[in-house]
A and B are shown apart, each in its own frame.
Chain A
């Protein structure tokens, strides 16, 4: 039997190896539950931006991204978050759910992003959130507004910042039935957001004594609406409720304006994103539509916010911020604030902070206080109804705000019933 001498050097070596082994066991145990990276204060905090740079929502995606960048720049200027600089990686989700999944997977697993932010398309948001839930990565759906996002497709890691189709319909339907009539026709973009939004409108029309006389499906990518608009004329509804978005909406709006149908029948457009309408003739902005924010709201902080936008993006053709930018900014700001309050990037702590989030009307630059619905993870906020501002001489003052509804008035109770969040214990944990 060979005799081994225990020297000081070999003892230290073995102790070192033992410590390394123990550390590896602690940090590299089951991946699902223990992702711990060196969270040294000099290591930047990486955030993955999952917004569209091509496809139907490319333009809105760019606006969404600008909002996130401004919020991050403001935090970095103050010294970052928890003393760490915030850095971003953006990958184009191409307005395509399959790309959204791929991008999310890469940003989490390869680029080691602590959080993901961004979406305009509900299909893409749903795809990203499934991947995010698998890893436990906190994900902010900034701008997609299908009711399913905080309903049946809700996730513990996902937080939804935009008003959804039901919220906008709640704000509009009862008044529109009273003002225009009971015969309604639905124009529905043939994908998840359109169907869910129209379903919400259908329920509300029924509830308030109206009748849906027809529903015209609009496939994604439709550019010629003439047949559908002829059909709508033949049906002679009192109100057309359109849940059509992105480039499809732009084409439809142009054709409705050419026919003058905006004045011939009442139109309720679910939500009108600022990047989709900015710079177009006011005739193209027909009917009544919803929004979560407008740059001319007479509220504290709004003018300063507009100035900060203009200082940050002086050469941007969009001279004033819109709702998409606002949502991107607000979501990012609240996430970073939640990390600071949690004192950690631990996802469970951040989730708990966001679940208890309350933001005053002043901080939200809206008419009512807002709060995160802890059961659905959707921000409960003020919803505005607006129409084209024909009386203005100011080029960028395109909307005339008609009304504002409090979060309680437009609450999506269907989402409360449909959303089944995964338990926090079943959500993988990490700290970066």
Chain B
């Protein structure tokens, strides 16, 4: 048991990070019934925007360059956590504007458009930042390691898990305790009724896509100091995100959170005891859950079901 405990804790922290990755994906699927295959590229874009905010080329800033670099890394990192997701959100909104011609058509149109967007974004990253591995700096206070019960843990991983938990709580508060959240939820439940009540559905979709994209970007900033940063890092995010929302039930907030945690624990435990199965474990988990409960853990009942 003493040997198992660190792995359970590790799985839990990994699960919170997976849940953070899936949140933005869940919002867009829930409200717009659209599988956003560009989620991974937006994840990567967030990290690259953060890279520029944390360590910009001094030439870009002109006379301000030196004084900006003199700011403590913690301040630049905090700025990146705030600004980069907003920038990704704006990119997401641009993508939503392109999506509009696909509304009301077959789902394949949306899938193809977001797939194309993913390729364009990844290639744009490659052109702007090059194909090589990049390094996203984190403040000294959250880097390094600490010793607990004879084992070494990463401070940053702990920070990232706590940050993910806080982000999940904030998104939940936004959805549950604000009128905007109520509109989003209503839009996910019955968009025609929302429109009938005089709410501008076009603007709602724009904002939801922006929010979902911003959350993808935020996850990218938090995850890439662990995973490393390269143009195609988004591929590593989009597959678990999709899997988690199917596992948790499409459009369900707590489904995405619980799905993320279950995937994290499965990957963490198999990583320790049957490491060859660690990536496969999430797919096996999905098969088991979907076999027992086709709509996922917290998915709404389909009208086709008796």
Residues in chain A within 8 A of chain B (CB atoms):
54-55, 58-59, 62, 190, 216-219, 221-228, 230-231, 233-234, 247, 250-251, 253-255, 258-261, 264, 275-281, 284, 317-318
Are the CB atoms of A228 and B144 closer together than 8 Å?
A: no
Are the CB atoms of B275 and A260 closer together than 8 Å?
A: no
Residues on B with C-beta less than 8 A from A259 are 145, 152-154
Question: Digit string of B14-33 for contact with A (CB within 8 Å is 1, else 0)?
Answer: 10000000000000000000
Quick check: which of B226-234, B247-255, B285-293 contacts chain A, the rest being far away?
Answer: B226-234
Are the CB atoms of B131 and A222 closer together than 8 Å?
A: no
Are the CB atoms of A224 and B152 closer together than 8 Å?
A: no
- Nearest chain-B residue to A279 (Cβ)? B132
Q: Bound complex: CA of A94 vs CA of B133, how far in Å?
A: 18
Among A224, A226, A227, A258, the residue within 8 A (CB) of B143 is A258
B267 at the interface (CB under 8 A from A): yes
Q: Bound complex: CA of A45 vs CA of B268, how far in Å?
A: 53
Interface size on B, residues (CB 8 A): 42
Residues in chain B within 8 A of chain A (CB atoms):
3, 6-7, 10-11, 13-14, 130-135, 143-145, 151-157, 225-228, 230, 232, 236, 267-272, 275-280
Are the CB atoms of B227 and A224 closer together than 8 Å?
A: yes
Are the CB atoms of A250 and B133 closer together than 8 Å?
A: yes
- Nearest chain-A residue to B131 (Cβ)? A59
Residues on A with C-beta less than 8 A from B151 are 230, 233-234
- Nearest chain-B residue to A225 (Cβ)? B271
Among B135, B227, B272, the residue within 8 A (CB) of A227 is B272
Residues on B with C-beta less than 8 A from A190 are 276
Nearest 10 pairs of A and B residues by beta carbon? A227-B271, A217-B276, A250-B228, A219-B279, A258-B154, A227-B272, A223-B227, A317-B130, A259-B145, A227-B268
Are the CB atoms of A224 and B154 closer together than 8 Å?
A: no
Total of A-B residue pairs, C-beta within 8 Å:
119
Are the CB atoms of A58 and B232 closer together than 8 Å?
A: yes
Residues on A with C-beta less than 8 A from B225 are 254, 258
Q: Is the interface of A mostly helix, strand, loop or mixed?
A: helix
Q: Bound complex: CA of A251 vs CA of B10, how far in Å?
A: 17
Are the CB atoms of A230 and B272 closer together than 8 Å?
A: yes
Are the CB atoms of B133 and A258 closer together than 8 Å?
A: no
Known contacts A259-B145, A260-B152, A276-B133: does B227 contact A230 (CB below 8 Å)? no
Q: Taking each of B227, B269, B271, which has the highest tally of chain A beta carbons within 10 Å of its own beta carbon?
A: B271
Residues on A with C-beta less than 8 A from B226 are 223-224, 251, 254-255, 258
Residues on B with C-beta less than 8 A from A62 are 131
Q: Bound complex: CA of A281 vs CA of B55, how far in Å?
A: 14
User: Min CB distance, B133 to chain A, in Å?
Assistant: 5
Among B132, B144, B145, B267, the residue within 8 A (CB) of A275 is B132
Residues on A with C-beta less than 8 A from B230 are 59, 247, 250
- Nearest chain-A residue to B268 (Cβ)? A227
Are the CB atoms of A254 and B153 closer together than 8 Å?
A: no
- Nearest chain-A residue to B278 (Cβ)? A219
